[in-house]
Amino acid sequence: QLQLQESGSGLVKPSQTLSLTCAVSGGSISSGGYSWSWIRQPPGKGLEWIGYIYHSGSTYYNPSLKSRVTISVDRSKNQFSLKLSSVTAADTAVYYCARGGINGPMKFDYWGQGTLVTVSS
Amino acid sequence: QSVLTQPPSASGTPGQRVTISCSGSSSNIGSNTVNWYQQLPGTAPKLLIYSNNQRPSGVPDRFSGSKSGTSASLAISGLQSEDEADYYCAAWDDSLNGLFGGGTKLTVL
């Protein structure tokens, strides 16, 4: 059974960089056909797709966040990461990692439990 | 405001059939498949329907999806109290962007 687990700083100061990692267990992140996404949900609000990295290493980002987002993969550790720079209070959210692909990049069949990141001084 | 438009709320009594709509455009729903997610309070979303009308294993056949043109719908028949949750549609957009609907809060009366 595939499992995803987010980790990282739960409190980030404004203007700094948010960094999160998603550890994948029970399967290889290098498996063909899958993409690995980050999705966030501000408190009391809806879901927002941040971006994904494909198994080949190519990346796609939400245009509204593209200038601040970097998603990378560490195959040796079977994990992928999110960096979001120049954060503001509007970036406060629960951040989820998820597996997508095969039937389309927005088909997320496995999710992490989510981690709350608060942007505050 | 989300590009994929859902009603903010829906409701029904146990045993009823309810539908939740998701309206988009030719660049997203009109040319890509639609997926639906169920989110219970305090938990991560769960895949409910993929590729417009396919159910992952373990999802009851009370849940069904359909798509026509630039709109999609999720139907829940035989409504149960445990179906009370937030529901989101999702689709890829040809502008290379992933989209979620704004979400629909389903209340079982």
Q: Which of A46, A96, A103 sits opposite B33 (nearest CB)?
A: A103
- Closest-approach residue (CA) in chain B for A114: B44
CA nearest neighbour of B6 among B27, B25, B26, B20: B20
DSSP designation for B27: T
Residue-level pLDDT at B53:
97
DSSP designation for B55: P
Residue-level pLDDT at A105:
85
Count helices and strands (H / E) in chain B. Answer: 0, 9
Contact (CB, 8 A) for A69 and A16: no
* Sign of CA pseudo-dihedral A66, A56, B49, B107: negative
| A104 lies within 8 A of chain B by CB | yes
Note which residues in 78-97 of chain B have CB less than 8 A from chain A. 88, 90-92, 95-97
Residue-level pLDDT at B1:
74
Name residue A112's amino acid: G
* 3 state SS of A89: helix
Residue-level pLDDT at B2:
81
| Least confident range of A83-92, A110-119, B1-10, B16-25 | B1-10
Q: Hey, what are A101's tokens?
A: 């692909």
Distance, in Å, from the CA atom of A54 to the CA atom of A43, rounded to the nearest integer, reads: 28
Q: CB B91 to CB A63 under 8 A?
A: no
| A54 lies within 8 A of chain B by CB | no
Contact (CB, 8 A) for A19 and A13: no
Residue A103 has pLDDT above 80, yes or no: no
User: Which residues does chain B have within 8 Å of residue A113's beta carbon, measured at their own beta carbons?
Assistant: 43-44
Give the pLDDT band of residue A102 (cuts 50, 70, 90).
low
> Torsions phi, psi of A95, nearest 5?
-105, 125
DSSP designation for B38: E
Count of CA atoms in the C-beta half-sphere (13 A) of B68: 3
Residue-level pLDDT at A95:
98
Mutant choice from A107, A111, A115 vs B, greatest count of B C-beta within 10 A: A107
Paired sense of beta strands A11-12 and A18-25, if any: unpaired
Contacts (Cβ under 8 Å, ≥6 apart) of A53: A35, A36, A59, A71, A72, A73, A80
* 3 state SS of A80: strand
**pLDDT tens for the 109 residues of chain B, in order:** 788 999 999 999 999 999 999 999 999 999 999 999 999 999 999 999 999 999 999 999 999 999 999 999 999 999 999 999 999 999 999 999 999 999 999 999 9
Distance, in Å, from the CA atom of A8 to the CA atom of A93, rounded to the nearest integer, reads: 13
User: Which residues does chain B have within 8 Å of residue A108's beta carbon, measured at their own beta carbons?
Assistant: 35, 37, 45, 47, 90
Residue-level pLDDT at A19:
98
Residue-level pLDDT at A98:
97
Looking at residues A90-119, what average pLDDT do you find?
94
User: Which residues does chain A have within 8 Å of residue B97's beta carbon, measured at their own beta carbons?
Assistant: 49, 62-63
Residue-level pLDDT at B79:
98
Q: What is the pLDDT of residues A39-76, one digit of tens each?
A: 999 999 999 999 999 877 889 999 999 999 999 999 99
